[in-house]
Structure 1
Amino acid sequence: MRTTGKIAALLGTTAALLALTTGAAAAGPEHHNTDPLGTGCASGASTIRSGSVGGIGYEIRYSAACGTNWVRVPALSGTVYMLIRSDWGGSAVGGYQTGSGGSHWTPQVYAPGSTCVTFWVQRIGSGDPATGNVRLC
């Protein structure tokens, strides 16, 4: 093996070991219906849409590293129904969450690149409106 080949192999091995030791998340369908915080996907994620409905502030988050989206309510008060589905496939994820402060979020759905997602957010028991099935592409 030539010196340049040995260096390239060493750099590749070093990069792979670094990814394993730092817990860096990688894109893949194995992240569907998992916790974005627990998988490391929340690290470096961005808000691609935010809004408010029925007094609930919500965010749709995207992790480019994992190719995933999820719904987050940064200051949950009361009971909220949150759901997100990806055009990639797999099941819709989410459900009822109750809180009196703090962030709450759905599991993430795999939606790499420009895959469309559909979400729903609604406060329960107040008669407040819902976002309905809002589609993001």
Structure 2
Amino acid sequence: MAGRRNSDRPWWELPLIAGAFLLALVSVAVDFAGPAGPRLGSWVVLCALLVVCGGAATVLGPYVWLRRVGVAVAASAFVAAMALTAVGLVAGDDDPEIPSPERLNGTDPTKGCANGSGIVHSADILNASGAPIAKLEVRYSPACQTNWVRVNNTVEGALVEKYIAIPGGAVEQEQDRGVGWSYSMQVYAPDSTCVDVSAVISLDGSLLGDYSTQVC
């Protein structure tokens, strides 16, 4: 009968559920530390909780039908946790929301890479008379291994064009107008990768000053 109390449980039920629970916890740790991070890990946590609930129903449930449901829930959740872990380990680097290093090309350096960055090159941009009209900086982020260009323009209404490129690779160009600091998007340049940088200051179509160099 479905309502019959279950007094004789197989000896293997408790160690089986305990082992499944421990393996689910290991998969949670792997997923949170892996390339897919907390987003995938949170799904594995749900599966681990279902393993716990199913295990509790299996071990403590007073009825046969409840024990059977518990076994089914625990087994299904355990399989799902293992599958999610495999997906996270194999395909995590391809997740579009978790950028690989190369996907940093063309992204905003202020969105996580600017903190801890430093100046690796700086120069004045001079006008035709040799007077400085802007300051150029090339910055590098050790955390992201990226470079970008910043320019501090002093000419009201001037157009500031910034360029940074990996020779034979990524190219980023940015235009801003007005006085003060502006910056380009970043390029992925690990270790001693060289970058070509330049800046052009113009007003109403007339060149006021420019600067270009290669930084390695």
* TM-score grouping bracket, smaller chain normalisation: 0.7 to 0.9
**Hey, what does 1:34 align to over in structure 2?**
107
Which one has a bigger Cα radius of gyration?
A: 2
Given the alignment of the two structures, is residue 87 of structure 1 paired with residue 159 of structure 2, yes or no?
A: no
Identity of aligned residues (%): 32
Q: Is the 8 A contact 1:76 1:104 kept in 2?
A: no
**Hey, what does 1:45 align to over in structure 2?**
117
Q: What amino acid sits opposite 1:33 in the alignment?
A: G
Given the alignment of the two structures, is residue 136 of structure 1 paired with residue 209 of structure 2, yes or no?
A: no
Q: How many residues align?
A: 121
Change beyond 3 A, Cα 1:48–1:83 = same
Aligned counterparts of 1:43 and 1:34: Cα–Cα separation in 2? 15
Aligned counterparts of 2:173 and 2:207: Cα–Cα separation in 1? 20
Counterpart mapping for 1:76-115 below 5 A: 77=155, 78-87=158-167, 89-90=169-170, 92-101=171-180, 103-115=181-193
**Hey, what does 2:202 align to over in structure 1?**
124
Aligned counterparts of 2:116 and 2:211: Cα–Cα separation in 1? 26
Greater relative contact order (Cα < 8 A, sep 6+): 1
Change beyond 3 A, Cα 1:70–1:56 = same
TM-score when normalising by structure 1: 0.72
Greater strand content: 1
Change beyond 3 A, Cα 1:50–1:66 = same
Greater helix content: 2
Aligned counterparts of 2:118 and 2:197: Cα–Cα separation in 1? 17
Query: CA RMSD, aligned part only?
Result: 2.9
